[in-house]
Amino acid sequence: MQKSLKTGLIITLEMGLEKSLNLRQHDNSAKNGQLIELFRGFVELNSIGGLKQVIIRTLTPKGFASNRYNNKKSIVYLAKGSLTAKLGVGDNESIVIIQQGSKFNLIPGIKYTLKNNSSDEALFIEFANTLDENSANEVYERAVELFKNNELNNINSLIGSLNQITLHTLKPGEFGGNHYHDSKRELMCLIKGNLSVYQKSVNGNADFTFYANEGNKFFLWQGITHKLTNEGKVDAVFIEFSNLAFDPKNPMNDVRKASSNQC
């Protein structure tokens, strides 16, 4: 049995059943770019049985990736491009068109083929419950391992506890931040582009700027004013791992705007 499903929603396939979830997205002003809450509180992420690895994967135009038998649980977020996913469980098979901004689950027993439909590179992030030691040797054009289990444990110890994962985009000339937090600690992983990162202590005793390149990770600590600027010519895309979950009822909770003499 084949089905075609066009959607801008999130697609989950479990034993041939498609169902929609909600993706939380916030469009801010140009100065703040765009942020998408991938996971808040981790109710959805916990469904895979524990986060062990985060991997960035890319597919060139018309490129494809396939796996005859998937042995892990993972949630995949398509950050850029469009994919045709052929997913099969036993004799059941579904063909799903996955649009940019969608999430889908891969569960044990699924056979899958992913094909890039767009004329540009497709970029997706996989959150998996098992370690894949051979991720960089797969048929994907690029597979970059962001974190393994031990590193994820280190994130918890460094920021206190991991409570939210957010995807940010800054277009050329845009900036984000220009504030500090009372309690929030953030680990940033730059997956595309370049950023100028300015930091200054709230008391003004120290300030510095450094430049982050694609693949770099850096921390933003509480009590430190920070401003991230895209001075490049392409979008800067980065993932934030933080200890505080966003509160839509009090969005400015823990955010303190920088004074005019700080940034």
Higher pLDDT, 249 or 25: 249
Judge whether 251 lies within some domain. Answer: yes
| Same-domain status, 209 and 188 | yes
pLDDT per position as a tens digit, 106-118? 888 778 888 998 8
- Domain region containing 15: 4-21+48-147
pLDDT per position as a tens digit, 144-189? 788 888 777 777 777 888 888 999 999 999 999 889 999 999 999 9
Provide the pLDDT confidence category of residue 85 given band limits of 50, 70 and 90: confident
Higher pLDDT, 49 or 232: 232
Q: What is the mean pLDDT of the chain?
A: 78
pLDDT at position 23 is 45
Sheet-wide strand order for 175-181: 207-212, 195-201, 224-229, 175-181, 255-257
Judge whether 37 lies within some domain. Answer: no
| Same-domain status, 132 and 193 | no
Higher pLDDT, 64 or 233: 233
Mean pLDDT to the nearest integer, 88-114: 83
Residue 17: pLDDT over 50: no
Tokens of 166: 């957010």
pLDDT at position 236 is 94
| Domain stop point among 98, 132, 147 | 147
| Best CA proximity match to 246, nearest among 255, 238, 257 | 255
Portion of the chain with pLDDT greater than 70, in percent: 81
Beta bridge partners of 35: 26, 168
pTM: 0.79
Provide the pLDDT confidence category of residue 29 given band limits of 50, 70 and 90: very low
Query: Domain total for the chain?
Result: 2
pLDDT per position as a tens digit, 67-82? 766 678 888 899 888 9
Residue 217: pLDDT over 70: yes
**From CA 230, how far away is CA 33, in angstroms rounded?**
10
| Same-domain status, 135 and 10 | yes
pLDDT at position 198 is 94
| Same-domain status, 171 and 70 | no
Residue 58: pLDDT over 70: yes
CATH of the domain at 194: 2.60.120.10
* φ, ψ (nearest 5 deg) of residue 249: -80, -20
pLDDT at position 186 is 92
Q: Return the residue matching tokens 């920070």.
A: 226
* φ, ψ (nearest 5 deg) of residue 160: 105, -55
Judge whether 64 lies within some domain. Answer: yes
Mean pLDDT to the nearest integer, 24-43: 66
pLDDT at position 245 is 84
